[in-house]
Amino acid sequence: MIVIGLTGGIGSGKSTVASMLVERGAVVIDADAVARAVVVPGRPAHAKVVERFGDRIVAPDGSIDRPALAAEVFTDRAALAELEAIIHPEVRAEIAARLALDKSDDGVVVLEIPLLVEAGDIDSYGLAGVLVIDAPEDIALERLESKRHLDRRDAEARIANQIERAERIAKADFVIMNMGTLEELEEMVNRAWDWMARLEAEAAKGGAASTPGGA
């Protein structure tokens, strides 16, 4: 088994690429889904988040009201950092536990982690490589407005809270520039999958990681 980190800015198309990789045989662990799981009522992180941000971010059923929490943090870097300090250790532990269950299996496990670079997690999971999905800001904004139905101001604020695209790309072993059609994206994902297959073959032989690539 090899583990690949998948990351990219908001609106870059990470989830679309992850779905395409599943179709090709990868197992995907979605860090956002894990983050939702670690703050369900009864989990330690739930109590910590409520203690920090108050009942205003609690839904009637006791769960975290994610839109309300997002409104609290996405325009406040300090608040966002506090939230991440609560949630990230829990997410790391959960992902590590899931990887431990899969460690004897063959194949490719993809960790879809939006903040892989920002959180300094590249060295945390024994990654064989880092796949970055990138898109120009104007295209990312259009996707956030049309597909996620965010208003322009909210979309711009979320993008502004991210690291620079160049900083993320600098950490990549393979880059997909997602700014064209789905057919073009499929072809780039095929190239990325070939790269992962080479890494897996080398790992099976006990070889070193392949040299970085890009598309």
- How does DSSP assign 160-191, residue by residue? HTSPPHHHHHTT-SEEEE--S-HHHHHHHHHH
**144 neighbors 150 (Cβ within 8 angstroms):** yes
Query: Token pair for residue 47?
Result: 């109590």
**pLDDT higher than 70, residue 209:** no
What pLDDT score was predicted for residue 186? 97
- Exposed, middle or buried, 23 (CB in 10 Å: 0-12/13-18/19+)? exposed
pLDDT band of residue 210 (cuts 50, 70, 90) is very low
User: How high is the pLDDT of residue 105?
Assistant: 66
Give the single-character DSSP code of 64: B
Res. 140: pLDDT tops 90: yes
The DSSP H or E segment spanning 4 is strand 2-8
Cα–Cα dist 18/55, whole Å: 34
Q: 10 Å Cβ neighbour count for 181?
A: 8
